[in-house]
Amino acid sequence: MPEALTHSELAGLNSEPLLGDTIGAAFDQTAARYPDACALVVGHQSVRWSYREYQREVDRLACGLLALGLQPGDRVGIWAPNCYEWCLTQFATAKIGAIMVCINPAYRRYELEYALNKVQCKAVICAAAFKSSDYLGMLRALAPELSGCAPGALQAAALPALTTVIRMGSAVTAGMFNFAQVCEMGGEAQRGQLAALGASLKATDAINIQFTSGTTGNPKGATLTHRNILNNGKLVGDGMRLTAADKLCIPVPLYHCFGMVMGNLACVTHGAAAVFPSEAFEPGATLAAVAEERCTALHGVPTMFIAELEHADFHSHDLSSLRTGIMAGAPCPVEVMKRVLGEMHMREVLIAYGQTETSPVNHMTSADDDIDKRVGSVGRPAPHCEIRIVDAAGSVVPVGVQGEICCRGPSVMLGYWGDPERTAQTIDRDGWLHSGDLGVMDEQGYTRVTGRIKDMIIRGGENIYPREIEEFLYTHPDIQEVQVFGIPDERYGEQVCAWIKARPGAALDGDQVRVFCRDRISHFKVPGLIRFVQDFPMTVTGKMQKFVMREQTLQALSAES
């Protein structure tokens, strides 16, 4: 361990050189090295491919996209839950140099229209439907011209850049190609074109646009390169010590960096197998996939691990093959971590932290870190990442002092697509990306995330950080999950509100919670309003939506008054 830090600034290790390949080249190298190794398992679609078979299917789709006239730099949207078509699209677009645009499976018509037009998607590949979302119906509503046009010849008033819609499934829809049909379109000319493109594409080319889910304003399209996400996938796989003998269970969504980078690219850079148990997270399906496939690694956010541990059939599944995985997206309560280490056998589970804008990981614990580091921090700077924590003036703060977490290095995005103003607000002139997250670095370089700058509650002049109260409330034996945020208050300006999910069978009320807080935390931090809930509003990736909780709380208070 290096000498103790005095200021909150540290660079990750750089002993391993960065990959200079494109994603397509890296994929082909792995397929050549491990042709018969298991590469992709999609249980709900009965897909099981070796790397040789996976490569063949990727190339078939890539040639089909070329036959449709798609070129390097064209934007291709992918709108679907987890499925093999999503995986093929990720690598096929990378091979032809098209920029894959990840569209949130939960988007509705307005959000879809904004996303497609913001980045001017030329093509979109989509599922027919998912849960309550009728994807094809929304597309037809936005582009009624589909009903009267030939596939690939769309001219829609509301979506002027979009020419091509490729739908999944075997049913036929007017104006749309079928996914399987496109995979059959390529010939010798396209195979030659694909080989030539492989030699001309650069690792610094933009290859992916990820829409961030902001709490205000329209989503921003974080633009990432081959170099960004390929190296980020590799560093995550390195941290998990992946090899070609590993199988990684991926119940997190592909549309987000957690699935496509920390999942798919972590596997491809190490010759490991990616296992997808279901279209969207289902704890039972995840446990079954781990047991049946003898998975050695498992990804998830803490709420997913909680759901798995609490599942009625948990003890009927043999999880002894598990060794590692990534837990990210939110802080992990210590009791949950103990059960993950013990009952799920994940002795080398890692905590990772970052943002979409950093591809996404810029902090990670190591497989050897003790439990206190895994629940009390997000680890140290990831390889090749520089981290500093700064005050409001931009000066680096001493260790132990709270400030904004900033990152610089090869994982930082190119910028927000078509939005130089918001890019400049996020990445300063020296290349530092400002996260908006508050954190504290210790003398060993471990960072503890303490909250969001915008989440801070100001009650009667006192600055209150919700994360601190949440961590305290998690020590209550009857509290399973908790979220704390501020709501307007006439007397104090803001009041502390807590949403609590009690453990099954627990008899807990607001007064008991307040008694638990009394004399243990400052009086102004004790929640003035407590609501007991069964579920929390979350994004598809499992991130809590406090702005939705705040809105629902205010609506309920208004109705009560």
The per-residue pLDDT for range 472-498, each reduced to its tens digit, is 899 999 999 999 999 988 877 889 999
Least confident of 128-132, 172-176, 199-203: 128-132
What average pLDDT does range 155-168 have in this prediction? Answer: 98
Task: Give the separation between CA 97 and CA 484, rounded to whole angstroms.
Answer: 44
Question: Which one is predicted more confidently, 218 or 82?
Answer: 82
- The per-residue DSSP string of 404-457 comes to EEEEESTTS-SEETT-HHHHHHHB-TTSPEEEEEEEEE-TTS-EEEEEEGGG-E
Residue with tokens 């895994």: 374
Helix (H, G, I), strand (E, B) or coil at 387: strand
What average pLDDT does range 396-419 have in this prediction? Answer: 97
- The per-residue DSSP string of 479-494 comes to EEEEEEEEEEETTTEE
pLDDT of residue 217: 57
Domains present along the chain, CATH in parentheses: 51-212 (3.40.50.980), 462-560 (3.30.300.30)
DSSP letter assigned to residue 357: G
Please state, for a pLDDT cut of 70, what percent of the chain lies above it.
98
- The per-residue DSSP string of 283-336 comes to HHHHHHHHHHHT-SEE-B-HHHHHHHHT-TTGGGS--TT--EEEE-SSPPPHHH
> Is the whole-model pTM more than 0.95?
no
Residue with tokens 């996938």: 233
List the one residue out of 398, 52, 99 whose CA is nearest residue 223: 99
The encoded tokens of residue 367 equal 């497989």
pLDDT confidence tier of residue 215, bands split at 50, 70 and 90: very low
Q: Are strands 297-298 and 273-276 parallel, antiparallel or unpaired?
A: unpaired
Task: Give the separation between CA 422 and CA 218, rounded to whole angstroms.
Answer: 11
Q: Do the beta carbons of residue 317 and residue 288 sit within 8 Å? A: yes
Mean pLDDT of the chain: 94
pLDDT of residue 60: 98
pLDDT of residue 456: 81
